[in-house]
Amino acid sequence: MRKLENSKTLGDEGSLPEDWRSFTEYDFWNMIRNLDKYNNGVINWKQLASFILLLKSPLPTDKNIEDYKQSLEFLSGKNGDKISGELFTKVN
């Protein structure tokens, strides 16, 4: 309860990212229906969050992709095609 009260005093409206606030209830229900393809009534919330992030993310250009590849190749060094999660997060 304390966390909720702190959020209200800081002007926080539910701790959702600004981009997510543009979605309507209808948009969320459509995403949930697509994720629950067997009509179990259960979805993976991490998968839902990933889909929402990807939906609002800009598509990379060919130049961006080449830059990512070069950065990953440089960071992987001796490991060849393997790279750790820690190194992956350092790619600009």
Whether 53 and 68 share a structural domain: no
- Residue 14 pLDDT: 60
Whether 43 and 74 share a structural domain: no
- Residue 31 pLDDT: 85
Please tell me the distance from the alpha carbon of residue 67 to that of residue 92, in angstroms, as a whole number.
9
Report if residue 4 sits inside a domain: no
What is the pTM for the complete model shown?
Answer: 0.45
Please tell me the distance from the alpha carbon of residue 9 to that of residue 18, in angstroms, as a whole number.
18
Whether 76 and 48 share a structural domain: no
pLDDT digits (tens, 9 = 90+) for 7-60: 555 555 566 677 777 888 888 888 888 888 888 888 988 888 888 888 778 888
Report if residue 13 sits inside a domain: no
SS3 state of residue 53? helix
Binned at pLDDT 50, 70 and 90, residue 62 comes out as very high
Structural domain boundaries enclosing 53: 18-57
